[in-house]
Structure 1
């Protein structure tokens, strides 16, 4: 896979080694690497919002100094990342963003809409609110897929597709098609399929397997009972059994608010760190 653009969403704490590896992989495949550097804007102290009638805001004397320091620190990190890109010979750029957490999704979406896929740097897991906003911006406000865990290498020998007949699963398979074409083996796995014409069909997974075979993929189909276990755990178990390098699945097939409160397969797969995963909505 060449001439693609990978959006690497990272923060100042992302190790140089992670960035250098992504840059070297991009250079080796003639791909472009866009580094979106997310930095939290210095929080305005709460008491600054307490405005009495006909009064004025009480902003700390060092407020402007804190902002300048944060901007300078981010600028320094931009210079360091640009040096890493130059050393690797990778084509790419660094886009610094300093904003409130609630605005992260808009900035991520803007860059994702002109990329081929997005990858979340592991360091963002230490900032879970930003991690979730990044995922939301890619999955709900852009047309591309989101990858987490592993490296940014644009290939996988064995891919496990967590398949059902939802639009989300179909979107994920379409977005991951370059990976599927390049893979040596693709396994379409259906967890607790409902074998009726109105639901998953009489032989679940065979339709998408036939379509992928037409694209030159080597595909097998398997149906798995969950036995009442968590679906995400079943997906991980089955993927590990076949030695998968990547799991492809649809994201947020149910209402996002319900999943945010009660968990859900998407949330579990995003939170786990053992298996590389590719999601699309």
Structure 2
């Protein structure tokens, strides 16, 4: 139906299409927003294990006419001598081996990136796995966005250390890419996993460069109930905000139906053919998520679509 709604004291003429599962809000005019993710940092551990991350970063660079910096990370030996300094020569050899492996991976990445049209560079980092946040987080502050691998069972410790570094220390958005990702244009169909939290609002703002040029934006709430944060219809306020900015916003209020929140979100993303999920990360403490579970932890374990996350 057509009509006028009042939002924050101003009147807007909208078309509102309601179905049993969605509401579509459209503004009469749309305006494409120039994508701003041009200085792209890909944080990887090896060319072979993180090919999907490199490919994603280069696809994004081709869309934005940007550049790619590959920060290749290897870890210092985690080694404690059993008898004072007696085993120090062994540690020294392990350290040499780690440096050589890092140099080898850096050379492979230079060769790989040379095949792409986007300008690129490679930066090697040999780090203590427990202190990755300082170096990686600082480097990520000087990029528009960081691209990392979604942690997998085979590389859980290193993957989580890298993701935590860029998410908590950089103050910039991070996109984690699942190994299932297939190359294609990024940001055509976007799903926003919405809660009225600071983290979700920050992620939505960080994703503005994508949202402004997206073909469709789906706002998804799970088990949302009318409240001070959500309003009378969960998600309607943020849909109206996006409509004001010229985006076409489709609103889905989902019931979990016994699923976890992350499962409901990913199921909807696959159903809609979304190529990017936008969400806030760790709305509660990491320890709480580790003990009790949570949507962030669920997405980190099971997302099959790239996720832009901000904290």
Alignment TM-score > 0.5, same fold: yes
Query: What is the DSSP-based 3-state SS (H/G/I as helix, E as strand, rest coil) of the residue aligned with 2:174?
Result: strand
Q: Give 1:188 shift.
A: 0.8
Match status 1:32 vs 2:64:
no
**Structure 1 255/15 Cα, relative in aligned 2: closer, same or farther at 3 Å?**
closer
Please say if 1:171 is aligned against 2:206: no
The partner residue of 1:214 within 244, 252, 276 is 244
Match of 2:132 among 104, 115, 133: 104
The alpha-carbon deviation at position 187 of structure 1 amounts to 0.9
Q: Does 1:202 align with 2:202?
A: no
Q: Which has the higher strand share?
A: 2
* TM, length-normalised to structure 2: 0.79
Alignment partner of 2:284: what SS?
coil
For residue 306 of structure 2, what is the aligned residue in structure 1?
A: 276
Listed one character per residue, the Cα deviations across residues 213-245 of structure 1 (whole Å, up to 9, x for unaligned) are: 222211111211223421111111222222211
Is 1:147 aligned to residue 175 of structure 2? yes
**In 2 relative to 1, CA 154–97 (structure 1 residues): closer, same or farther, beyond 3 Å?**
farther
* 2:78 counterpart residue number: 43
> What is the DSSP-based 3-state SS (H/G/I as helix, E as strand, rest coil) of the residue aligned with 2:196?
coil
Counterparts of 2:40 and 2:184, CA distance in 1:
10
Greater mean alpha carbon deviation, residues 166-175 or residues 16-25:
16-25
1:7 to 41, 57, 61: 41
Say if 1:124 and 1:130, in contact at 8 Å, map to a contact too: no
Task: Give the whole-Å Cα distance in 2 for the aligned partners of 1:273 and 1:199.
Answer: 27
Q: CA shift at 1:173, angstroms?
A: 0.5
Counterpart pick for 1:134 among 152, 155, 162: 162
Q: For residues 66-86 of structure 1, what are the alpha-carbon distances to aligned partners after superposition, in whole Å with 9 as ceiling and x for unaligned?
A: 322321221122122123223
Look up the SS of the partner of 1:8 in the other structure.
strand
Output the aligned Cα RMSD: 2.4
Rate the CA distance shift 1:43–1:58 in 2: closer, same or farther, 3 A.
Answer: same
The more displaced of 24-33 and 211-220 is 24-33
Once the two structures are TM-superposed, the CA of residue 131 in structure 1 deviates from its matched residue by 1.4
Q: Which consecutive unaligned segments of at least 5 residues does structure 1 have?
A: 52-56
Moved more, 159-168 or 225-234: 225-234
Once the two structures are superposed, the pairs formed by residues 227-266 of structure 1 within 5 Å of their partners are 227-266=257-296
Aligned to 2:13: none
In structure 1, what is the Cα distance between the partners aligned to 2:224 and 2:303? Answer: 26
Secondary structure at the residue paired with 2:114? helix
**Between structures 1 and 2, the one with greater helix share:** 1
Residues 85, 72 of structure 1: alpha-carbon distance in 2 compared, 3 angstrom cutoff = same
Aligned to 2:25: none
Q: Distance in 2 between matches of 1:172 and 1:20?
A: 22
Gaps of 5+ in 2: 1-34
